[in-house]
Amino acid sequence: MTTTPELTEHRIATEVGELAVLDSGASGKPTIVFRHGIFLDRELWRPIALQFASTHRVVLVDSPGHGESGDPGRQYSLGEDARASIQIMNALGIEQAALIGHSWGGMSSLRVALAEPERVTALALVNTPLKPGTPAERARFAALQLLLRVIGAPRWYGRQIVPSLFDPSAHDSAIATRMVERLRVANRFMVARAMVAVLVRPDDVTGRFGELRMPVLAIAGEDDYVLKPAAAELLANAVPHARVVRVAGQHATPVEQPEALVAELTRLLNEG
């Protein structure tokens, strides 16, 4: 009988605030650091992380202002968020780790891999935008975050975005329901800051894809609006050893296709 490992809660000071981290603390095993997407929290990754906990040390991070993490009280950038992952690794005594990120978490993890590649054994970009949106898309998000600063994120907003993020089969999933409820009570300035960092002002690192030497996986749903064909082709051409995989579903592959995702992640980790 397999026992479920206990995860220890840490609160770690970083330049983007005090972040809440769950850690299996299994010293002597290779480490995986999981980061989640915007409006979600580390619970997105818990079921999948626990499947690797017998062979790996697993670390689940709540992003700034999300889940149990604090908010920095100021605007921050993706680069600062990426450095927070490195600061967490330093605080936990982790020299190297595989980084697995969903959406925003993938964007942040990609920047860690570019900043300190020697510390990243493998990189999984799950439902991750590989390049900034168009000027029109970013302008639309800029207007939306200004509105949310004024009115907050009422329940209807969370319900409205569920169809754009989750496949119909996952609309009533525990993760989708949790997102709607937590977004409803979230600090409206926290929501706006995250949107600015991730959706309005992300830096463009596509010109640096060729620097990635570790095993790389980019995986997304067939109907996911963020992993655009041109960007996926750019990654594949710049990083010949990278694998770009499409599975059924939309923007929540960890919820919609967990078995397929675990299989692809297992293959990636074996390459690292």
For residue range 188-200, list pLDDT tens digits in order: 898 899 999 999 9
* Superfamily designation of domain 8-132+204-271: Alpha/Beta hydrolase fold, catalytic domain (3.40.50.1820)
The CA distance from 186 to 241, in Å, is 40
The answer, yes or no, to whether residue 3 has pLDDT greater than 60, is no
pLDDT for the residue numbered 85: 98
pLDDT digits (tens, 9 = 90+) for 13-27: 999 999 999 999 877
Residue 2 has pLDDT above 60, yes or no: no
pLDDT confidence of residue 183: 86
Angle subtended at Cα 83 by Cα 80 and Cα 87, rounded to the nearest 5 degrees: 130
CB 240 within 8 A of CB 212: no
Give the start-to-end residue ranges of the domains of the chain.
Answer: 8-132+204-271
| Stretch 136-154: mean pLDDT | 85
- Model pTM? 0.95
